[in-house]
Structure 1
Amino acid sequence: MSYSTSILRKITTTLVLGFAAAAVNAQSIDTLHAPAPALPGVYADPNIAVFNNKFYIYPTTDGTEGWQSTQFSCWSSANLTDWKNEGVILDLPVDLTWAKVRAWAPTIATKNNKYYYYYTADVNIGVAVADKPTGPFKDPLGKPLIRRGLLGGQMIDPMAFVDDDGSAYLYWGQGQCNVVKLNADMISCDTSKITSFKPEGYNEGPFMIKRKGLYYLMWSEYDTRDPRYSIAYATSKSPLGPFVKAVGHPVLKGKGVVKGAGHHSVVQVPGKDEWYIAYHRFKIPDGNGYNRETCVERMYFDADGNIKPVDVFGKLKPVKMKAGKK
């Protein structure tokens, strides 16, 4: 074999191996084939929670321009991958006297052996109460908890957070973030003690978690109709702030065929440092800001406590919980 032939074979082998490696790499970062949504149909703004060894998702019913939905539903799962529709848990025209339409972005918390469901109705925030996480939920006030126009921005996207000491806080707001400590009854608050602020990039959908003594305030940036819709966060040593935005650590954003990934919630597997994020994206295919679908994916922290970027192309595996944990 001549010297030139030997060189040619080495070059050919290198090219073949290079193409093979490129093919494997391309397959590993495929952005054209997203995983199926967690819930069938069009649902947005998912609030994920865990009660009594079962996971629940409380979403906005999507599919109408201007988001004209009138009902809220609940979905349950024992493993985060197989979901059952528990039916309508709150019907605005039937269950409320003060709002009939625009049922958006709910959240839920438990305390006092009751379940408290906070929701947006006609750009007000209401609260409903039930004995079970699947309802039926009843309006105890006959009026909004937070009325539209009370503050700057829209009174939407509530998030209820119960701290380790039992103190409960309500976060909400589009255009600015608002937070207030809820009274012990969970259905009232002192509106004169509302704190309002606007982290850089904040638009809507606040969500609070606590891990290892640190508070993580997360939110959605851009508009939900914008393909750039995404999630960022800030941290604090207090549920009321001040919060410092995590720079260079976006929680979640679209990529490839996944667009408009945002308005999320997070759940911790009881008894484990294991976290999952629920969010919506434009329906695939042909979705937009009025036709969105709910997804669930694993969320990780690094050694310094930073939230790692979520893989919107991940393959979620069934989750097992420890018996007896709530």
Structure 2
Amino acid sequence: MKRLLFLFIVTVSVSGSHVTAQTTQTVATTNSTYANPLPVQFGDPYVLYTQGRYYMYGTGGGANKGFSAYSSTDMVNWKPEGQVYFHNNKNGWSDPNASWGGAYWAPEVYERNGKFYLFYSAQWKVNPTKEVENFRIGVAVADKPTGPFIDLTDKPVFDPGYPIIDANVFFDSNGKTYLYYSRCCYKHAVESEVANLARQKGWYKEIEESWVYGVELKPDFSGVIGQPLLLLRPPVSLSDKQSEWESRSVTAREVNRRWTEGSVTFKKDNTYYIMYSANHFGGQYYAIGYATSSSPLGPFKKAANNPVLQKNTDQGGSVTGTGHNSIAYSPDGKEMFCVYHARTQKTGDERVVCIDRMQVNNGILKILGPTTTPQKLPSGVKTAASTN
């Protein structure tokens, strides 16, 4: 939620773009540790690495009908770069007066051929049936990671006929590009054993679901190639091992929806990994799982060790609502990090950014979190004390 590293190309692609190994460098900072949450109030955080700096984009963060950004040399200490995308640019296609303030959500930025491309979700102003959720995905371009980003055209990338959010782009080693997105729950009631249970218990009359799709993207980002394929959805059967954790927002009576969203795709050792978030993004049960495939468009098999990141309050911790992640690498390229938003007892309902180490070995993905205790700085970051 990726062009993060340079020097020699490795076989990992994160959140949709080529990931190359970063040059080993010595970034000086005063502290030898960091602790979550970071001082950034973003939802859906996405990190881009380019030219020796990290740039973070996300939902909210003070942006007015658009998106803002932060920059960092060490992935720990961030400075604001101001608003980088404005809805009213010359090609703006969104409706800032629609529900949720236009719903400017989940920006992700990719570097291609010396340009920077921002994919995002927003309410489409073409709305003849006056849908409350009329989200589509757009793409804007800039010469710098700090913008200003201008929409490529005056319309979304494509219109599948239903509301979509959470764009993620993957650049495969064969030169093909893929767009992943989430179909929204809106007006998408799905029959399942969980839905039957909810009716029997008198919790809800129906359960709406969001599903993750993938489709090939045109090289110039002007549209898609072929028809989207369904890749991930909540389990239909209660006996499915994934059903318990992906249905918690329903069984806890938070909401009558089951989400599969916030996906991020990468490749390692010829295996495609797609990470995703399930449950209510505004609730305590928001959590991260993953699935694997031998193809970028599946079929994907969900992992037995899901969820790989979830709340820790039942173990005495203070973190809930862990989800919608992207992936980043340490300055020397040796460590992989999960960048996600969460809530803590101190921050309340405000979504804040956290980073925790993650590992992928022999097809098994693990996230070493959520943490709030002091952690070592990312490898390749040198402290002031160590340079004396």
> 2:181 matched to 1:172?
yes
> 2:150 matched to 1:138?
yes
> 2:369 matched to 1:311?
yes
Distance in 1 of aligned mates of 2:331 and 2:180: 23
> Which residue of 1 is the match for residue 220 of structure 2?
185
Structure 2 stretches lacking a partner, 5+ long:
1-33, 97-101, 124-134, 185-209, 235-245, 247-258, 382-388
Task: Choose which of 302, 305, 309 in structure 2 pairs with 1:252.
Answer: 309
Structure 1 stretches lacking a partner, 5+ long:
1-33
Aligned residues between the structures: 277
Q: Which has the larger radius of gyration?
A: 1
Distance in 2 of aligned mates of 1:132 and 1:286: 32
> 2:231 matched to 1:197?
yes
Report which of the two has the higher share of strand.
Answer: 2
SS at match of 1:300: strand
> Which residue of 2 is the match for residue 49 of structure 1?
48
Runs of 4+ in 1 over 6 A off after TM superposition: none
TM normalised by structure 1 equals 0.78
Distance in 2 of aligned mates of 1:48 and 1:184: 22
Distance in 2 of aligned mates of 1:84 and 1:209: 28
Distance 1:97 1:311, change over 3 A: closer
> Which residue of 2 is the match for residue 89 of structure 1?
84
SS at match of 1:279: strand
> Which residue of 1 is the match for residue 277 of structure 2?
220
> Which residue of 1 is the match for residue 70 of structure 2?
75
Distance in 1 of aligned mates of 2:348 and 2:219: 42
> 2:277 matched to 1:206?
no
Is the CA contact 1:39–1:295 (under 8 Å) kept in the aligned structure 2? Answer: no
Distance in 2 of aligned mates of 1:159 and 1:296: 19
Q: Report how far residue 254 of structure 1 moved.
A: 1.1
Distance 1:241 1:306, change over 3 A: same
Is the CA contact 1:61–1:72 (under 8 Å) kept in the aligned structure 2? Answer: yes
Distance 1:311 1:168, change over 3 A: same
Q: Report how far residue 112 of structure 1 moved.
A: 2.2
Is the CA contact 1:218–1:231 (under 8 Å) kept in the aligned structure 2? Answer: yes
Task: Choose which of 88, 93, 98 in structure 2 pairs with 1:98.
Answer: 93
Distance 1:57 1:95, change over 3 A: farther
In structure 2, give the amino acid aligned to 1:293. Answer: V
> Which residue of 2 is the match for residue 158 of structure 1?
167
Distance in 2 of aligned mates of 1:146 and 1:280: 28
Distance in 2 of aligned mates of 1:207 and 1:151: 23
**Quick check: 246-255 or 261-270, which moved more?**
261-270
Distance in 1 of aligned mates of 2:360 and 2:112: 28
> Which residue of 1 is the match for residue 12 of structure 2?
none
The CA RMSD measured in Å over matched residues stands at 2.4
In structure 2, give the amino acid aligned to 1:104. Answer: W
> Which residue of 2 is the match for residue 299 of structure 1?
358
Can you list the C-alpha shifts for 1:282-303, whole angstroms capped at 9, x where unaligned? 2542523xx211111111234x
Q: Which one has more relative contact order, counting CA pairs under 8 Å at least 6 apart?
A: 2
Task: Choose which of 323, 331, 335 in structure 2 pairs with 1:274.
Answer: 335
